[in-house]
């Protein structure tokens, strides 16, 4: 019998309540012994301490998944617990990239099937982790613009925020190096994406060639030019055809450093402020997820 610790955000709305209940019923109906752990009820460390050795199922979105993986990484337990995901967030980007079903009962059955897949992790020079993707520049500004629109527009808010940022942003003077090799030609960068996963903002394929289990990060650097080119980039980015633009550079590597700015950063869907230097390193097969 599978022994699972189901972690979720207890402050989520009634729609999430119904989907979460259905997912939990599916897990228990499939024979799993499930202990529920509302994220707001106890400290996450206390939950994990009380349930040693149990695999963890995240009932939520990319933000909740990020917090759980970061906590397990800090505790040194990523190799001891496999993580499952029932995507209940707004964007669910990591689930989309892995092909995890967005239907809660179907995703719960994936967890019950118990097929763990080793996945990479990005770790920065301050101890932070990236499960899906980190991006700097216009994408982070788009997220700022989308935040107040999400209650009304849902996933469409990301597209609106991206269009507004694409028209307004002048870019940032950044130095990007991948495994010690400089990327770019000195022009301002509109956006830098470092992908373990594929999409951001609820399905925008910033790094469409990325794989979360190949030991490499996909790096996408867009160099800014005029206002029209910035608008074209925003439109092409949403469709995933931006890699064909002449001002977009792509490469891959195990260590990525960005210097300059200060530039806004979005890490796994969360705005983390502005930085002037940050380095990310790929840790291959650092954790496991049921897929």
Neighbouring residues of 265: CB distance < 8 A, sequence distance ≥ 6: 134, 135, 136, 140, 271, 272, 273, 274, 275, 278
Angle made by CA atoms 203, 207, 212, in degrees to the nearest 5: 95
C-alpha torsion angle, residues 126, 127, 128, 131 (rounded to 10) = 140
Out of 3, 41, 46, 270, the active site residue is 270
- The answer to whether 255 is a known catalytic residue is no
8 Å CB contact between 256 and 280: yes
The 3-state DSSP composition of the chain as helix, strand, coil percent (nearest 5) reads 35, 35, 30
8 Å CB contact between 214 and 118: no
* 149 DSSP 8-state letter: G
Residue 76 burial (C-beta neighbours within 10 Å; 0-12, 13-18, 19+):
exposed
* 184 DSSP 8-state letter: S
Angle made by CA atoms 78, 74, 99, in degrees to the nearest 5: 45
Supply the residues annotated as catalytic.
Answer: 270
């Amino acid at each position: 019998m599978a022994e699972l610790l189901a972690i979720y955000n207890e402050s989520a709305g009634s729609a999430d309540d119904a989907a979460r209940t259905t997912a939990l019923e599916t897990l228990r109906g499939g024979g799993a012994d499930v202990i529920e752990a509302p994220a707001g009820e106890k400290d996450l460390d206390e939950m994990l301490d009380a349930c040693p050795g149990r695999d963890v199922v995240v009932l939520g979105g990319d933000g909740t998944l990020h917090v759980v993986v970061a906590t397990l990484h800090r505790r040194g337990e990523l190799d001891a617990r496999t993580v499952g995901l029932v995507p209940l967030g707004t964007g669910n980007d990591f689930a989309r990239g892995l092909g995890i079903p967005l239907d809660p009962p179907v995703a719960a059955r994936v967890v019950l099937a118990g097929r763990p897949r080793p996945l990479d992790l990005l770790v920065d020079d301050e101890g932070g982790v990236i499960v899906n993707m980190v991006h700097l520049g216009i994408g982070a500004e788009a997220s700022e613009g989308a935040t107040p629109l999400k209650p009304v527009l849902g996933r469409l808010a990301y597209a609106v925020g991206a269009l507004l940022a694409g028209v307004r942003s002048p870019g940032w003077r950044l130095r990007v190096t991948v495994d010690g090799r400089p990327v770019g030609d000195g022009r301002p960068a509109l956006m830098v994406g470092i992908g373990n996963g594929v999409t951001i903002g609820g399905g925008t394929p910033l790094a469409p060639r990325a794989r979360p289990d190949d030991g490499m990060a996909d790096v996408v650097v867009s160099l800014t030019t005029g206002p029209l080119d910035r608008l074209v980039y925003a439109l092409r980015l949403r469709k995933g055809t931006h890699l064909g633009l002449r001002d977009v550079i792509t490469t891959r590597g195990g260590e990525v450093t960005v210097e300059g700015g200060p530039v806004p950063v979005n890490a796994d869907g969360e705005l983390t402020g502005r930085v002037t230097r940050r380095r990310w390193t790929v840790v291959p097969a650092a954790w496991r997820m049921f897929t």
